[in-house]
Amino acid sequence: AQSVSQHNHHVILSEAASLELGCNYSYGGTVNLFWYVQYPGQHLQLLLKYFSGDPLVKGIKGFEAEFIKSKFSFNLRKPSVQWSDTAEYFCAVNTNAGKSTFGDGTTLTVKP
Amino acid sequence: DAGVIQSPRHEVTEMGQEVTLRCKPISGHDYLFWYRQTMMRGLELLIYFNNNVPIDDSGMPEDRFSAKMPNASFSTLKIQPSEPRDSAVYFCASSSNRDPQETQYFGPGTRLLVL
């Protein structure tokens, strides 16, 4: 069965700092990879996704993620965070079987 | 498209009462998922349907929880009787197998408080 591991439960950064959130998955076959964001009091929204092709994926609001197959990783990055990026971030894996497996989430707090 | 629609958005009930949560997936989507989110346990998949048929209900916590999908545009999650530990945000999501990435689109959630 697939599983997803997010390394940090809570990250606190100052505005303009660079962000990298780790995500590792365990599954030996072809995967689709996602990052979702949940702003305070709101529902989950898709931030970006990887299906195939260029392993560096660019999403909304300046976020990007890099798929490294050899490391089973799909880390999320942003060069300069803003206070409005304060949210919970979920990594998810789908193996074309209908069901996505979500990580436990990483709460990002950006200090103004 | 209006996206995934859930109702009610908020529910406050007393312990022992029946609670029914409703979800309308995005039109044309053939997968529907019910999730529960709490501070303690994070995001948990409760059950999911494909073409209205339950595929995996291993995440349903106990017999007090039941879910149905009578047609492609409607699903319910019922808790009977409800308990305080059921307090959580319940999300419905849908996806399409015509999308090779099977992106899940989430509804706004139902915030349930059982007193």
Closest C-alpha to A3, from A70, A78, A95, A111: A95
- Please give the pLDDT value at position B65: 96
Distance CA A30, CA A36 (A): 20
| pLDDT tens-digit series, residues A1-13 | 678 999 888 999 9
For chain A, say whether B43 makes contact (Cβ under 8 Å). Answer: yes
Q: Are B42 and A104 in contact (CB < 8 Å)? A: yes
For chain A, say whether B20 makes contact (Cβ under 8 Å). Answer: no
Through-space distance between the first and last CA atoms of chain B, rounded to whole angstroms: 36
The C-alpha angle A4, A7, A12, rounded to 5 degrees, equals 135
| pLDDT tens-digit series, residues B85-114 | 999 999 999 998 787 667 889 999 999 999
For chain A, say whether B75 makes contact (Cβ under 8 Å). Answer: no
| pLDDT tens-digit series, residues A62-92 | 999 999 999 999 999 999 999 999 999 999 9
